[in-house]
A = this chain, B = another copy of it.
């Protein structure tokens, strides 16, 4: 038994008109083929749908039930077409998004809110991890988009878009001689002890700190290493060292630490980028990426 749109429409027209002639007219066809179609329908179902009494056509109980179901089937079909098109156009769908730890605490929520508003049909699945892991997941297809740091050599199969830039600031103990300054030059810290991230943990930040000092003409005297940011903060708060950190950390004030902007400008920035697979054709990903770039520009 096959329910063509046409067949369902014919039955519905007949169910409303309760008259073969009028229904046929409404369907822009002659009466005989309508009779035949209804016979085929009833034969196919093995069920009598119409109570053909002369001068008074009625639906049997089964016919009444079928009229409801027919309407539902038609609606379901249209809904499927609609939904598939929306998915194809990226207005609906699933996007798996990776991001690096707390560093995105400022921009990510804003972005998610904008996405929920502009692309309400999108379901975003979040996964937090380190940049290296995220890159791997993205390339293997486990993620569709990732907000990562420092993709210094960007893999061939990925494309990145700047998402947010964050200055590096000096983290000084409250009692440090420059803690009260409006800004410091990196070179002012050449004699200080530094605590820096180990290269293995968050290579991006570690490398950038090293480069920044290099450009200011000195190698930081590295008194200690730490595996993560909280480790760094501990050393600084204890008054033992100074360090360099992303400015966003100021949103998580730590007693004993003062953050002071660097006088040097552009080079000492940490950039967060949105990365996607170059070959990815998923429209939802592109919509989201488009939204990201638009919300990033101004």
Binding site for B on A (CB under 8 A): 1-5, 45-49, 51, 60-62, 65-66, 69-70, 72-73, 76-77, 80-81, 83-85, 87-88, 92-94, 281-284
The reply to whether A62 and B47 form a contact with Cβ atoms under 8 Å apart is no
List 24 A–B pairs whose Cβ atoms lie within 8 Å, in order of A's numbering.
A1-B77, A1-B81, A2-B4, A3-B77, A45-B81, A45-B85, A45-B88, A47-B85, A51-B281, A60-B281, A60-B282, A61-B93, A61-B94, A61-B283, A62-B85, A62-B87, A62-B88, A65-B83, A65-B93, A66-B80, A69-B83, A72-B76, A73-B76, A76-B76
The reply to whether B283 and A80 form a contact with Cβ atoms under 8 Å apart is no
When chains A and B are docked, how far (Å) is the Cα of A281 from the Cα of B61?
9
Contacts of A62 in B (CB 8 A): 84-85, 87-88
When chains A and B are docked, how far (Å) is the Cα of A77 from the Cα of B7?
14
- Closest residue of B by beta carbon distance from A3: B77
The reply to whether B61 and A284 form a contact with Cβ atoms under 8 Å apart is yes
Contacts of A284 in B (CB 8 A): 61
Given A2-B5, A3-B80, A48-B88, 13 more contacts at CB 8 Å? A1-B81, A2-B4, A60-B88, A60-B281, A60-B282, A61-B93, A61-B94, A62-B84, A62-B85, A65-B84, A65-B93, A69-B83, A76-B76
Candidates B66, B76, B94, B283; contact of A84 at CB < 8 Å: B66
- Closest residue of B by beta carbon distance from A62: B88
The reply to whether B85 and A46 form a contact with Cβ atoms under 8 Å apart is yes
When chains A and B are docked, how far (Å) is the Cα of A283 from the Cα of B47?
12
Contacts of A94 in B (CB 8 A): 61
Contacts of A77 in B (CB 8 A): 1, 3, 73
- Closest residue of B by beta carbon distance from A48: B88
- Closest residue of B by beta carbon distance from A66: B84
The 6 closest A-B pairs by CB, nearest first: A62-B88, A47-B88, A69-B80, A65-B87, A62-B87, A66-B84
- Closest residue of B by beta carbon distance from A283: B61
When chains A and B are docked, how far (Å) is the Cα of A62 from the Cα of B48?
39
Interface centre among A76, A80, A84, A283 (most CB of B within 10 A): A84
Q: Tell me the smallest distance from the CB of A184 to a CB of chain B, in Å.
A: 50
When chains A and B are docked, how far (Å) is the Cα of A66 from the Cα of B45?
27
The reply to whether A73 and B80 form a contact with Cβ atoms under 8 Å apart is yes
Q: Tell me the smallest distance from the CB of A59 to a CB of chain B, in Å.
A: 11
When chains A and B are docked, how far (Å) is the Cα of A51 from the Cα of B49?
44
When chains A and B are docked, how far (Å) is the Cα of A14 from the Cα of B49?
36
Q: Tell me the smallest distance from the CB of A160 to a CB of chain B, in Å.
A: 22
Indicate whether A69 sits within 8 Å of B46 (C-beta atoms), given known contacts A77-B3, A281-B60. Answer: no
Interface centre among A4, A60, A92, A94 (most CB of B within 10 A): A60
